């Protein structure tokens, strides 16, 4: 069964308000800051699925696996043990007990993560983990903001709020380069565009505008303005006019 065909588990009737906010979009479009801001404003949990793909990639690189050898990556995809912390004010990611929050943001991981993410076995493994986290959060009576590339299309297609963030490539590159401590903006833009091309072109769960997603071009807005737009969408779902 392909990851895309895996059925979504049902939400139990006593799960409380099952608010899932799916935030998809291109690299550097402001997904993480927006998702964390929305989760903090609404008291929701937060799941960064990109960090999970990065963590598996980091583990493959440390093992010396050739990330362009899809069969090698697939064969090891089940091995690393990932734990994602879902507090939006301090999200964490551990692999086999090791905190990898910093090393998953290096240029080596940036350039290796797209080929690893294109391997179906990696996606299936993470899809199960992602759905389990959403399911457990909802079952505990809490909502969650989930950010990635395929959240509204594959991971949780029934999310009541779906947004797709994009931004002008130059704006994305300058934001990302600031976040990474002043890396070269032109090189950062090339790296973002290369990742976008692979993420959008892959056969399994490509980056797409999901059915029902609201597209927001964040270029002209401040972070607070984008957060406010998504919060308004969530409030409209919670209390329809
Ligand atoms: O959001 P990010 O830049 O941290 O994501 C890192 C990579 O992970 C990105 O190039 C694509 C991949 N990814 C994915 O394929 N599916 C997701 N749901 C999240 C991220």
Residues in the chain: 241
80-92 mean pLDDT: 97
Strand pairing of 92-95 and 82-85? antiparallel
Return the best residue to mutate from 112, 149, 165, 172 for the ligand 1 pocket (most ligand atoms within 8 A of CB): 149
Q: Name the residue at shortest CA distance from atom 8 of ligand 1.
A: 50
Q: Any idea what the CATH number is for the domain that residue 197 is in?
A: 3.40.50.300
pLDDT for 92-113, tens place per residue?
Answer: 999 999 999 999 999 899 989 9
In a domain, 88, yes or no: yes
Residue 7's pLDDT is: 65
User: Which residues neighbour 107 within 8 Å (Cβ) at sequence distance 6 or greater?
Assistant: 183, 191
The domain of 195 spans 14-235
Q: Name the residue at shortest CA distance from atom 6 of ligand 1.
A: 50
Who lines ligand 1 at CB under 6 A?
Answer: 27, 49-50, 53-54, 113-114, 117, 148-150, 195, 199
In a domain, 26, yes or no: yes
Sheet of strand 92-95: strand arrangement? 82-85, 92-95, 98-99
In a domain, 7, yes or no: no
In a domain, 131, yes or no: yes
In a domain, 50, yes or no: yes
Residue 178's pLDDT is: 84
Residue 11's pLDDT is: 45
Q: Name the residue at shortest CA distance from atom 5 of ligand 1.
A: 50
114-137 mean pLDDT: 97
Domain total of the chain: 1
pLDDT for 7-34, tens place per residue?
Answer: 665 544 443 457 999 999 998 899 999 9
Task: Report the alpha-carbon distance of residue 183 to residue 161 in Å, rounded.
Answer: 34
In a domain, 51, yes or no: yes
Q: Which residue in this structure is represented by tokens 């998809």?
A: 24
Q: Which residue in this structure is represented by tokens 């080596």?
A: 108
172-179 mean pLDDT: 85
Residue 16's pLDDT is: 43
Inform me whether the pLDDT recorded for 132 exceeds 60: yes
In this prediction the pTM is 0.89
150-158 mean pLDDT: 96
């Amino acid at each position: 069964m392909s990851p895309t065909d895996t059925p979504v588990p049902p939400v139990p009737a006593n799960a409380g308000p099952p608010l899932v906010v799916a935030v998809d979009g291109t690299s550097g479009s402001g997904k993480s800051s927006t998702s964390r801001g929305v989760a903090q404003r609404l008291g929701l949990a937060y799941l960064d699925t990109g960090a999970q793909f990065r963590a598996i990639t980091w583990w493959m690189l440390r093992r010396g696996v050739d990330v362009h050898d899809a069969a090698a990556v697939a064969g090891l995809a089940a091995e690393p043990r990932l734990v994602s912390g879902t507090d939006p004010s301090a999200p964490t990611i551990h692999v086999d007990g090791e905190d990898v929050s910093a090393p998953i943001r290096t240029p080596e991981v940036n350039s290796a993560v797209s080929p690893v993410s294109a391997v179906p076995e990696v996606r299936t493994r993470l899809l199960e983990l992602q759905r389990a986290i959403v399911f457990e959060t909802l079952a505990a009576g809490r909502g969650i903001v989930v950010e990635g590339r395929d959240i509204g299309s594959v991971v949780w297609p029934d999310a009541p709020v779906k947004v797709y963030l994009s931004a002008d490539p130059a704006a994305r590159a300058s934001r990302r380069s600031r976040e990474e401590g002043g890396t070269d903006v032109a090189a950062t833009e090339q790296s973002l565009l290369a990742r976008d091309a692979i993420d959008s072109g892959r056969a399994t769960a490509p980056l797409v505008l999901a059915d029902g997603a609201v597209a927001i071009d964040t270029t002209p807005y401040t972070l607070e303005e984008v957060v406010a737009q998504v919060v308004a969408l969530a409030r409209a779902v919670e209390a329809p006019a």
